[in-house]
Amino acid sequence: MIQMKNVYKKYPNGIVALNGLNVEIDQGEFVYVVGPSGAGKSTFIKMMYREERPTSGQMFVDGIDLATLKNKKVPMLRRQMGVVFQDFKLLPRLNVYENVAFALEVIEESPSRIRERVLDVLDMVGLKHKARMFPTELSGGEAQRVSIARSIVNKPKVVIADEPTGNLDPETAWDIMNLFEKINATGTTILMATHNKEIVNTIRHRVIAIEGGLIVRDVDGGDYGYES
């Protein structure tokens, strides 16, 4: 699903974020990405959806070569994946239904199909009854569930989540994790950057630790490994 070979990333200001990183992630895996701030975790995540481009090295996501992918083709890549952020990134002037439908409108899906899919995923995240509410009327957990619904509405093979529980209280964070588990159970690959020690140590999955732009630890069912 995801292959990186000797990926090296240097920013224009001279900072080396990734220093020859190698990794392979299979379809259907659930992977935590951990590590101290500023270790290259964010860059690693951003590279998945081509927000950042490798300076050198090879990188494939779902067979697409990201090192040579033209800017014009980036939208096609992003339609194959879902992205979830710490700050939800919902549009405040659209209601819950519209926020989710937005992802399908953008790719010019037919209205009847949009309706069907949006109601499906809202049901799955348990927010069908709040479809007409606006993001400002939702709790943090609900907002994050909407953003997860949006990320999976076009049935991506992989969901990239950057600290999805970072802004949530512990109890809500568990709800969100259950949701990711559910999505993973349908065969979707999940790549999740997190600082949440408790979650990583309880719901065991493969853990990749990044430090100094390199993977320093890669253990199936490993623990968080840092003091929180």
Partner 1 sequence: MKARTLWRHFRESLKSLGRNGWMTFASVSAVTVTLLLVGVFVLIMMNLNKVADDLENDVEMKVFVSLETDEARKQSIEETIVDIPEVESAVYSTKEEELADLVLDFGNELDLFQQNNPLFDVFYVKASNPQQTGNVAAEIAEIENIEKVEYGKGKIEKLFNFLNAGRNVGLVLILALLFTAMFLISNTIRITIVARRREIEIMKLVGATNWFVRVPFILEGMWLGLLGSIIPIGLVAALYYNTLEFIQPKLSGELFQLLDFTPFIYQVGGLILLMGVFIGVWGSFMSIRKFLRV
Residue ranges binding partner 1 (CB under 8 A):
49, 51, 72, 74-79, 83, 89, 91, 102-103, 105-108, 111, 150, 154
What are phi and psi for residue 79, nearest 5 degrees? -75, -15
Residue closer to partner 1 (CB basis): 53 or 128? 53
d(CA 158, CA 103): 15
Phi, psi of 108 (to 5 degrees): 60, 45
* Residue 38 vs residues 14, 67, 130, 143: alpha-carbon distances, Å: 14, 23, 38, 27
- In whole angstroms, how close is the CB of 54 to partner 1 at the nearest point? 17
Nearer to partner 1, 75 or 170 (CB): 75
* 113's tokens: 């199909």
H or E segment and range at residue 65: strand 64-65
Residues with Cβ within 8 Å of residue 42, at least 6 apart in sequence: 162, 193
Considering the complex, state which of residue 125 and residue 209 has its C-beta at the smaller distance from partner 1: 125
Nearer to partner 1 by C-beta: 103 or 138? 103
The answer to whether the CB of 119 falls within 8 A of the CB of 139 is: no
Q: Which is nearer to partner 1, 42 or 154 (CB)?
A: 154
If DSSP codes are grouped into helix, strand and coil, which group holds residue 94?
Answer: coil
Residue whose token pair is 């939800």: 88
- Compute the least distance from the CB of residue 104 to partner 1, in Å: 9
Least separation in angstroms between residue 227's CB and partner 1 is 33
Nearest distance from residue 65's CB to partner 1, in Å?
A: 18
